[in-house]
Amino acid sequence: MSDSASSRLIYGFHAVLAKLRHDPEGIFEIFTDAQRNDARARDLLRHAEQLGMRIIPSEGERLDKMVGTRRHQGVVARIDGRRKELKLPDVLDGLTEPALLLVLDGIQDPHNLGACLRVADAAGAHAVIAPKDKAVGLNATAIKVASGAADTVPYVTVTNLARALREMQEAGVWILGAAGEAEKSLYTVDQKGSIAWVLGAEGDGLRRLTRETCDELVRIPMYGSVESLNVSVASGLCLFEARRQRTVQA
């Protein structure tokens, strides 16, 4: 097709639904697993059909080959390769469950950013948010390290991080900042509601204004001799504890 040279693929429900809701004109076509007929798949198809999208039922194996992984959840979209900048309201307005967000404050290493995106994808986070300035940005190295997660987890850059955190608070999101000196433990704070975990770079931690904007500071208990963890490891611990709390049966 004539637009194929400027297109790329995204996959997974978070990424495709976010694109459908906020930039449907940027979608060329959607490939779906013809064998998947659960409520989540039907909801996506209904949304796509209402927008007049071209939908191509496909075999699961074809989708595997298209994106080089089986983690597509049965939906792949071919979109305009000229990336449209995603805004924070795009993510917040489209949520159908309590928010689980990862906010990165001043991460300079693209390997760390890519690893954080990968962790966010694995934990089912709805988005990763980072400042435009004094941060690495989603460059080729970060995308490669993310191993596909850059196309499954919405990545939002903001001009003013403290203002973005306040915007989240106004939307009902509780802001948890990871800080080694905090009194509350990761395992005692309630994470069942809408939350955003805010993590800073290893060593430097959260910047002052970011720290002051958080609703609550929380520490990751450390039992060995090291004083801090790599930000992607810390992100995984925080996000998966939130996910564990939400899935534990009463």
**Three-class SS state of 120:** helix
Q: What does residue 162 show for φ and ψ, rounded to 5 degrees? A: -60, -40
Q: Is 165 annotated as a binding residue?
A: no
Q: Is 193 annotated as a binding residue?
A: no
Q: Is 35 left (phi over 0), alpha (psi -120 to 50) or beta?
A: alpha
Residue 85 CB partners (closer than 8 Å, separation 6+): 157
The residue count of the chain comes to 250
70 CB neighbour count, 10 Å cutoff:
11
Tell whether the torsion through CA atoms of 67, 71, 75 and 77 is positive or negative. negative
Q: By the 8 A CB rule, do 81 and 9 touch? A: no
Q: Is 229 annotated as a binding residue?
A: yes
Q: Which residues are annotated as a binding site?
A: 200, 220, 229
Q: Which residues are annotated as a binding site for S-adenosyl-L-methionine?
A: 200, 220, 229
